[in-house]
Every structure is written in C-alpha cells, then in structure tokens.
Amino acid sequence: MPLEMNREVFITCAVTGAGDTAGKSKHVPITPKEIAQSAIEAARAGAAIVHCHVRNPETGAAARDRELYKEVTDRIRSADVDVVLNLTAGMGGDLVFGNVEAPFPVNPNGTDMAGATERVAHVAECLPEICTLDCGTMNFSLGDYVMTNTPSMLREMARQMTALGVRPEIEAFDTGHLWFAKQLVEEGLIEDPVLIQLCMGIPWGAPDDLNTFMAMVNNVPKNWAFSAFSIGRNALAYPAAAVLAGGNVRVGLEDNLYVGKGQLATNAQLVEKAVGVIEGMGAKIIGPAQVREKLKLTKR
C-alpha cells in the first residue's frame, strides 16, 4: 500500500477496556452509567465510534455480563448524540496457565474460556453496528496469560457476526493476524468493506516503532479501512502516524490514561487532543453518518 495521508478521518474512542486500570485513574468508567456517559462525552468531543467493554460495577474487574452490555447500549442509544456503537467480543478467550513447572491445571484466577456462541451472545442481544474480532492467539503482557483465539473459534465467531449483520472490526496485534484476516475474507466469512484495527505496542505483539507499523500498514489491502493506536508513551503520537499512513485514529482510556506528562485524562480530553492533531495536519474529522456510509453499517 503506497503511503498516502488520509484527508477524511474518523475517530474511535475505546472507553474503558478490560485491563487493570480502574485503580490507576478516577476517570476510568466502571458502572454502565459511567461507561455510557463517558462514551457520550467522547462522541460530543468528536468521536464517530465508541468501543465499549463492561466491568463488574462492584470491583471494576472485566466482565461479559449481557445485562451490563444491554444497559450501556440502551443508555448510549437514548442519548441526544449520534455515535456508532462498537462492542468488544474479545472476552472469553483468556487462558492463564498454572506455572512454568506445572502448566495444568490452569489458574482459575484470570482464566475465562467460553464457546463461540457465548462469546457473541451480547452482540446478538444488543446488535451494535460493529464488534471486534481479535484475529489471533498471542502471549499477552506478563506471566502465564495467553490471549486465545483459535482458527476454528475465529471462523465461527466471524460467521455468527456476519449472520447478525454486525460488521467485525478485525483486531490485528501482529502480521500473522493480518494474514489470517485475509483468509477469513477469502472464505467469505467477513464481507466488504473490511474494517481493521492495528493494535501496536502491546506486549508481545507488534512493537510500535515506525518500521513495524509500516510493515503492518503495507500488509493491509488497499480496499480495506484501517485505524491504528498504540498504548503507553507513544499513544499520543499515534494519531499523527495513523493519519499520515492513510488510516484512521483510535484513542481512549483503554489504551492510555494520560493527556500529557503526569496529567490524567478523560476520554473526551483524549478525543479533543486527537481532533487537534488531525485538524492541525490539514485533515477533516468525519462523523457517524459518514462512517456508516463508508463502512455500509446498519444503524440500530
């Protein structure tokens, strides 16, 4: 793919995520009401898409309770702001081995493995316009945790998402994930237009240096739409990198807690920061109606 700056950019805000961040910032939303309100504020700040996880309202831990998703989606849809809804389908693929000498039995603290239908149940219940498909298995962060998504699992989840009329957003953490995404498209399990998120800097996937990023970009077919983000200290630089490489932008508290050195952010502030970068580069921010047209989404 030749390098060509994107002049019409949409922003996705990843509102809360599933990581252990709730205790690190008071701005990370936990309850369905907080998650929905933060998503609404991000939309008002310029996000065309909000990407939502849910959390246990009591503990802040990651959850996949259908009722929590239903409350979040109902609250967002009833608000006086338009936004494209994107729900995670990444939960239910968490495998934590026992230890290096005794990997089995697996550690019940953190292991959460579910079948394809169960992993997509909240998508069938809420019918968002987009849901994510983590397109591979990888060692994730530290210790004995593996993000687990087998080829058979991904094929079935993609089949169910497409049958529901929900656009999968392929989450690619490394080049092999892009390779398998192309296979899903070739098999007719994901329909055009294909949407992909390049997830950079997450241990132990693709590092977020520019050489690796451009290797990822150059493996994205020209007719696909892509966004990109990085976590950590390069998160605030990635909106510029993504736009310059021809893509769209993702920001949010799932990926980064800071809007400046030592300054804890809200989701709206991260979106505002991205808007400033994008417009400062001479590009235009497009809204949810234009995103729906571009990605052929069905508004619910």
- Summarised one tens digit per residue, pLDDT across range 136-185 is 999 988 899 999 999 999 999 999 999 999 999 999 999 999 999 999 99
Range of the domain at 194: 8-295
Residue 76, in any domain of the structure: yes
Quote the pTM value: 0.97
* CATH number of 123's domain: 3.20.20.70
Residue 198, in any domain of the structure: yes
Q: What is the pLDDT of residues 184-224, one digit of tens each?
A: 999 999 999 999 999 999 999 999 999 999 999 999 999 99
Q: Per the structure, how many domains does the chain have?
A: 1
Q: What is the pLDDT of residues 273-299, one digit of tens each?
A: 999 999 999 999 999 999 999 999 988
Spatial contact of 146 and 98, defined as CB atoms under 8 Å apart: no
Residue 2, in any domain of the structure: no
pLDDT at 2 over 70: no
Q: What is the pLDDT of residues 48-99, one digit of tens each?
A: 999 999 999 999 999 999 999 999 999 999 999 999 999 999 999 999 999 9
DSSP state letter for 228:
E
Residue 169, in any domain of the structure: yes
Helix spans in 95-249 (H) = 116-119, 121-126, 151-164, 175-186, 210-217, 238-244
Residue 81, in any domain of the structure: yes
Residue 3, in any domain of the structure: no
Share of the chain above pLDDT 70, in %: 99
Residues 127, 87: Cα–Cα separation, whole Å: 9
Residue 300, in any domain of the structure: no
Residue 191, in any domain of the structure: yes
